[in-house]
Amino acid sequence: MSTTVIPHGGREIIERMTRKFPELFVNVDEEQRKLTTKIAQQFAFVYGLQWGNKKRAGLSDDFKSKDSLACLESDATISIWDMFSSGLDILVQDGQAPAFPNDSPGNTTFMPVEPFNWLGDAGPEPPDPPPDNGDLEARVKALEDAQAAQLDINDDLAQALGDVTGRVHVLEERLGHVEAELAKPKKVVGRTTATWGHQHTVNLDVTTAD
C-alpha cells in the first residue's frame, strides 16, 4: 500500500493557488484543468517530480483529470487525491492518505509536469524533511517503467484491433459468397409421365421472390 500522504503545507499551497488564480477556480472543466496543472507544477517544485497529473489509461492528454492530484509511487503505481468538490470546497488536508491509492498503469496514466514556482517562493516549509522517495535516478526509472507498461498496453490493444478487423474481413467475404449464390436463378429438372406411358423431360427456371 501507499505510504505517500499530502505533505505538510500541501493544503496551504492549494488554497494559495486558488486565491492566486480565481479565474481558474470555477466549475468549468477546461479552466479547472489549467488550475490543477499549475497546482501539480507547484507540488513538483516544492516536493519532487513524483507529483503530477493523471488521466485514464488509453485517453488522449486532452482528457486529463480536471481536479485530481497524482503521485507516482516507487513501485510505478499511481496514488490520487480529489482536490475539489462540485461546490468548489477544498477536500485535501495535510497528512491525508490518497482517495485512490496504488492504481495500476493499466487503469491510470501518470502525467509528469515541469516544476514551476507559481507562488514566487519556495512554498511552505515542512517541519521535517519530506519522506525519502528515492533519488532522481530512481524516480526517473519509475517514470520509464510506467511509460513502458503503457506502451505494452497500447501494443496489446493494437494487436486485438487487428485481429478483430481480420475476422470481420473474412466474414464479409463469406457473406458476399453466400449472397452471390443465393442470387443465382434456380433450375428444377424432372420428368413427367403421361397416361399412355410417354415421358417428357421438363426444365423449369425458378426465381424466388422477396
The pLDDT tens digits of the residues spanning 101-117 come to 999 888 899 999 999 99
Q: Cell for 144?
A: 520509464
pLDDT above 80 (res 194): no
In a domain, 24, yes or no: yes
Residue 36's domain comprises 10-131
In a domain, 121, yes or no: yes
In a domain, 62, yes or no: yes
Mean pLDDT, residues 39-53 taken together = 96
Mean pLDDT, residues 170-180 taken together = 86
Which are the contacts of 186, defined by CB distance < 8 A and separation ≥ 6?
Answer: 205, 206, 207, 208
Q: Tell me the C-alpha distance between 8 and 127, whole Å.
A: 8
Mean pLDDT, residues 36-52 taken together = 96
Burial of residue 34 (CB within 10 Å: 0-12, 13-18, 19+) is middle
Looking at residue 163, its pLDDT comes to 83
Mean pLDDT, residues 36-59 taken together = 93
Looking at residue 127, its pLDDT comes to 46
In a domain, 51, yes or no: yes
**Closest to 142 in 3D by CA, of 71, 53, 191, 66:** 71
In a domain, 15, yes or no: yes
**Mean pLDDT of the residues in the chain:** 83
- What percentage of residues in the chain have a pLDDT greater than 70? 79
Q: Tell me the C-alpha distance between 24 and 203, whole Å.
A: 83
Q: What is the pLDDT of residues 121-134, one digit of tens each?
A: 644 444 444 555 55
In a domain, 170, yes or no: no
Looking at residue 1, its pLDDT comes to 59
In a domain, 167, yes or no: no
In a domain, 63, yes or no: yes
Mean pLDDT, residues 91-102 taken together = 94
Side chain identity, residue 95: G
Highest mean pLDDT among 97-106, 158-167, 196-205: 97-106
Q: Residues 95-121, buried b or exposed e (16+ Cβ, 10 A)?
A: eeebebbebebeebbbbbbebeeebee
User: Looking at per-residue confidence, does 157 or 14 come out higher?
Assistant: 14
Q: Are strands 51-56 and 186-193 parallel, antiparallel or unpaired?
A: unpaired
Number of structural domains found in the chain: 1
Mean pLDDT, residues 168-194 taken together = 75
* Of the candidate ranges 19-33, 63-77, 119-133, the one whose mean pLDDT is the lowest: 119-133
